[in-house]
Structure 1
Amino acid sequence: MTHSYTMAVVFGLIAGFLCRIRMLRTDFRQYPTYPHGRVIHLSLGLIAAGLGAVAVPALFEKNYTAITFLALAAQQFREVRNMERETLSKLDEMELVKRGATYIEGIAMVFEGRNFLVILSAFLTSLAVMIGRWPWGILVGLVVVGLTGWLRSGKSLDQIADVQIASVRLKGPNLYVDDIYIMNIGLEDNRRRIREHGVGVVVVPKDRHSRFTLANTGQRQAILHDVSVVLGVFRDTGEPSLVPLIKRDLNDGRLGVFLLPEEKDPEAVLEVVRRVPVLESAVRMPLTPSRNQRST
């Protein structure tokens, strides 16, 4: 029996750690940083995998204090969320184009949730070894690693909206992206820079739910931040006229996106905007008109 316990713990630990590796990547948003940010999250993932793997033999031995340890671990992994929130909030103060509180909270929530997925993966793999021996452990381990890889990425902007390049026009001091008014540009020097470097994008929601999601200011700020991180931003501190902006057409819900990348490459801008993640806290699913009527 001791040998079975050892195999269950080892298989669970390996499966859980592989899940954490599969869910951890430094993408175009440059977070987590490499290598130190990755070391922190992989270390926490190894601890989470160990907790999930050890819980099964403890329960088979009727040592129910293991549940208490899992509950304590859940409390500790909540600190991961706080750590990420505080770190990103401090970094955001130094950004020319900020992430925004909604984006930061989404990233922090993801890192907390992934540790719980690691615990569950290790627990299921360890349980499979205890019940069906090691071949079942390998099978379940492969399944959970595959599933966590699938859960790694959420929706991107191109799944809820059509993203198109639009013209940047100046009518006197007024700046427009397509027919959407953006802001007033007073200085001729700033208007010249906008003509040279400005890129416009129109984001058209695909349905009513998408329209409400795109109205969220946190989702809009995420678009501006991601483009600025990947392609740079042609501005410095103290230049409010050169700040990238997004304005919404109140009639149809379209977004007019005004951007000032370091290099004027409309196709690259289009690709980055399409890959912007849809923030979980920005998703809105309003009631249908018939349900609204019944509720009143």
Structure 2
Amino acid sequence: FSEQEVKEAIFSLEHNKAPGPDGFPAEFYQVFWETIKAGLMAMFHDFSKGNVSLFSLNFGIITLLPKCQEAIKTYLSAKCELYNFHKSSTSRINKVAKKIIQPTQTAFLPGRYILEGVTILHGTIHEVHQKKLNGDIFKIDFEKAYDKVKWPFLQQTLRMKGFSPLWCNWIQQFVSGGSVAVKVNNNIGRYFQTKKGLCQGDPLSPILFNIVADMLVVFINRAKENGQIQGLIPHLVKDGLSILQYANDTILFLEHNLEQAKNLKIILCAFEKLSGSKINFHKSELFCYGEAKSHFE
């Protein structure tokens, strides 16, 4: 990592955020950059050479936050450490993200915009209505998507995408080498190691999740090539439009065909099993168009 990369990563961190267990917020690194940069860069260089383990640095505190009044369940929000390493790594990965992640994904990628997916979805629904085409649209929500990612699947995906063994090892240390403790009533419990998932609030997590989620697109594209499923509006989109993604929010498009629906279910089940993801059917929806709508009703 160059000094300029590390500096840009540090100065892009937001202000007025709660510090991690070490007590140093982003403002500390920014204000005292000239004083600490030599030691910080030495640590980066040692890490790049494999001489520094992140285990002693990679720890955080989980604060319990009820998301509704009179909650009977508790949801976890983790504050991750190593922002300097993670932010710098994110900047590097973002430079190649558009080459390794399908254009159907529009979240957290430089040069892609939220409205791309919305515009395509609106145009597709308009075309289906206007031409009275038969088709099904599935809105899929993955439950606690970041928390359920399997680390071995992430590593396999990174290798398939062409990441070097060095980068795969770095990312493995980032996501799996840390420890966390739970804070209750201002008391911090014992630290323990997590076994899966990506840390909420970590600048590296969105791009890593997109890389994992992109494998669903790969599965669907292969099924299309094998004639197992067919997307909508093939007269406008080559081989038909089959999927749009915004982070873990996924929309699937399918011809109204029972056999194809079964094949799609197999694909989703396989992706769940391999990646660790779980479809939240309470938040998922099915929309039918044309004759398919009358069959559904």
TM-score (norm 1): 0.25
Structure number with the bigger relative contact order (C-alpha 8 A, sep ≥ 6) is 2
User: More helix by proportion, 1 or 2?
Assistant: 1
Tell me the TM-score normalized by structure 2.
Answer: 0.25
